[in-house]
Amino acid sequence: KMEYNYVTIINFNGNARIIYNRAKPDQINAYNIPYGGGGTDFEAAFRQAYDVANNYIHQEAIVFIFMTDGGATYPSNSIALFQ
């Protein structure tokens, strides 16, 4: 039996949306991930990440990798959700 790690990719700028949800890494095509640019909103990204994590928190270990090409204010409200 082969076990997989699963990946959820959340794309964000002025809002956040799930591009891949619990996909096997070999099913992800990074070249097809849309990039809109502009309007970086960390709050939207972390709220979406919280919603995804909340679905699986009791079933799996969850690791976040946060990458951005922009700057925004610290997402205090969204980060507080994780506590």
Give the position of tokens 């990440």: 49
Q: Which residue has the tokens 């909103």?
A: 41
Res 51: pLDDT: 92
The pTM of the full predicted model, rounded to 2 decimals, is 0.81
Distances (CA, A) of 50 to 29, 32, 79: 24, 24, 9
Q: Give the mean pLDDT per block of 10 residues along the chain (83 residues).
A: 79 90 90 82 92 82 83 90 86
**H or E element at residue 23:** strand 16-23
2's torsion region: left (phi>0), alpha (psi -120 to 50) or beta?
Answer: beta
